[in-house]
Amino acid sequence: MMKTISVFVVLSLLVLPIFTSTIIASYPIKSDYESENSGLMDSPWPMFRHDVHHTGRSPYGKDGCTGMLKWKLKIGECCIFSSPIVDNDGTIYIGVGKTFYAIYPNGTIKWKVKLGGNVDFSAAISKDGTIYVPADDWSLYAITLNGTIKWRCRLGDAPSGDPLVDKNGIIYIGTLDPLVANGKFHAIYPNGTIKWNINLDGCSSAVIYNDTIYVDCCREGRLYAICADNGTIKWDKWEGTVNKLSSGPSVDDKGTIYYGSYGNGYLYAFYPNGTLKWKYRIGATHMSPVISENGTFYIATYKEHNDYLYAFNPDGTLLWKCKVPATIGLMVDKNGIIYGCGIYCIYAVNPNGTIRWKWKINDYILTHPAMGRDGTLYVAAWDGYLYAIEPRDAADLRITAFYCGLTVGHFKIKVKNVGVFPAHNISCKVKLNGKWYTTIVPKIDVNEEKIVKIGWIYRPILHNPFGACLEEIRVEADGANHDILLEGSIVWYMMIIGPIILPEDIKSLFPSTWRWIPAEEI
């Protein structure tokens, strides 16, 4: 009997550690967030999506009922793809074409340096002040804070994601070979020499958690977990997107990995061991969630119509969804305000899912926002400008409706001031066949809505009455957030005979169809 008990005790002592380790391994080990980000400069926005977890979460923020233009700076002719980053002095860094810029917080250029290829991804700043910049001459550049190139590491193919810097200063970046799918995922020492690389073609921007790198490979449509030390692949999982570059995964402080799929429209949540925690169908998206301090996370779709911003609990419970423009980039500030880069606007959403404000431009915004220490948002757009948008209290003008029916010599719109201060000398204008027509409104008070007639518009009777093209409607005033309708390539065709104006639609000949069209339907 004693011998049997002794054998049982010995077996228990042998098995228990294995059993215990299995239990412990099944639970995520909480990340030391500060330590994992210690390889980055301690600055307001040192890398793409702020940190090595891609939380998109700023420790700063500023109150204000609306967004106001602080400044804008022309840095390119068009098509800015890279997103800005910010150092501890407030200097903003961004690339466009083959030029990499350092820009003071007041919107003036500090320095610029020419590289050998186009800069289509964000840079990252290490704690020693080295800026790592990928360029499509198949290189990663290391640049000092004064604009001097320290070294250039040849990657073998064009970069396919933004650089990641771990706590030891190792830089991780993927490449894409469009011809023979021979791209690699690299680990690079801070001196520019290769630590290791593995054959993964078209890797996104990566995240790191407890010395494991998570990255998706667009060529294969799979999410990979990679050992940061030696590049060994721990596991891989199908994530539903092939040949679509994305902003990559994000990870929360408990190790759950999130990935939004453009291909099948699912938001995935994976445990650190690669098993599926849950998935939720939201629609096509180019991003993964940004994660607030309380664990609520946000993700938006990109379909160019009928798009939404979603808020989830970590268990996959949908908290709310809010209709927004098609969105590429998101961030969240210390107050829980969510900021998004829509196709034609920067927008802010309250933590309860209501729209706070929109600041519009008439071109694409296909980058991610960054935030400075004072709460200023930095956003780049396809019009070649870098914008600094400041949340603050001001007048906020909104075009609430457009009259679709017969008018004589003018267009009619409704304009409302939804801000907290009156707006003065408001310029209300329409662009018709390339020509602007303007009406000035002396004042619109807080919460006041006015019907505004814009014109005098007259087209000679002998001219073709069809094909008049209404291209844009705009309202703006000093000290106020402006508004734009028909932004982008959207146009309305009008029939104009002398001063008689009608939409170019046979139904518009009947008075029973004349009506005010709400702005959200345009």
**What is the Cβ-side half-sphere exposure of residue 225, based on CA atoms within 13 angstroms?**
19
Give the residue numbers spanning the domain of 517: 395-521
Q: Does 157 lie in the same domain as 88?
A: yes
Q: Are 352 and 338 in contact (CB under 8 A)?
A: no
At 507 the pLDDT is 59
Residue 22 lies in a domain: no
Quick: pLDDT tens for 450-466: 999 999 999 887 777 77
295, two tokens: 């664990």
- What's the confidence (pLDDT) of residue 505? 67
| Amino acid symbol at 83 | S
358/429 same-domain check: no
Q: Produce one character per residue of 455-487: b if its CB has 16 or more CB atoms within 10 Å, e if not.
A: bebebeeeeebeebebbbbbbbbeebbbbbbbb
Residues 405 and 359 in one domain: no
Residues 72 and 109 in one domain: yes
Of 355, 370, 392, the domain-final residue: 392
On whether residue 13 sits in a domain, the answer given is no
| Residue in this structure with the two tokens 């309202």, named with its chain if needed | 475
Query: Is residue 480 within 8 Å of residue 396, measured between CB atoms?
Result: yes
Residues 6+ apart with CB under 8 A from 16: none
Q: Which of 332, 333, 345, 337 is nearest to 379 (CA)?
A: 345
* Residue 118 included in any domain: yes
Residues 500 and 388 in one domain: no
Strand partners, 427: 440, 476
Secondary structure E strands in 240-285: 250-251, 257-260, 266-270, 276-281
Which pLDDT value is given to residue 493? Answer: 85
> Is 403 inside any structural domain?
yes
Do 308 and 407 lie in a common domain?
no
Distance CA(322)–CA(266), nearest Å, equals: 18
- The first and second tokens of residue 342, run together, are 């829509």
Cβ partners under 8 Å of residue 244, min gap 6 = 218, 262, 263, 286
First-to-last C-alpha distance (Å) of the chain: 86
Judge if 289 and 435 occupy the same domain: no
The domain that holds 350 is classified in CATH as: 2.140.10.10
Check if the beta carbon of residue 61 is closer than 8 Å to that of residue 375.
yes
* Token pair of 60 as six digits: 């700063």
Residue 2 lies in a domain: no
Please give the pLDDT value at position 10: 34
Q: How far apart are CA 337 and CA 353, in angstroms?
A: 10
The CATH number assigned to the domain holding 504 equals 2.60.40
In this structure, is residue 429 part of a structural domain?
A: yes
**pLDDT at residue 18 in the model:** 36
With contact defined as beta carbons under 8 Å apart, do 73 and 103 qualify? yes
* Same domain? 305 vs 414: no
What pLDDT does residue 11 have?
33
Q: Say if residue 284 is in the same domain as residue 408.
A: no
Mean pLDDT score of the chain: 90
In tens, the pLDDT along 263-282 reads 889 999 999 999 999 999 99
* pTM score, whole prediction: 0.91
> Among residues 362, 392, 422, which one ends one of the domains?
392
Residue 475 has phi, psi (to 5 degrees) of -130, 135
Question: Does any domain span residue 17?
Answer: no
The ranges of the chain with pLDDT < 70 are: 1-29, 243-245, 489, 505-508
Length of the chain: 522
What is the Cα–Cα distance from 257 to 422, expressed in whole angstroms?
A: 47
* Strands, E assignment, 53-106: 66-74, 85-86, 92-96, 99-103
Q: Is residue 27 part of a domain?
A: no
Q: Which two tokens stand for residue 465?
A: 């009455």
Structural domain total, the chain: 2
Query: Over the stretch 108-159, which tens digit does the pLDDT of each residue have?
Result: 999 999 999 999 999 999 999 999 999 999 999 999 999 999 999 999 999 9
Residues 95 and 187 in one domain: yes
Q: Say what the pLDDT of residue 80 is.
A: 92
Based on the domain organization, do 283 and 177 belong to the same domain?
yes
Last residue of a domain, one of 364, 392, 420: 392
Does residue 478 share a domain with residue 348?
A: no
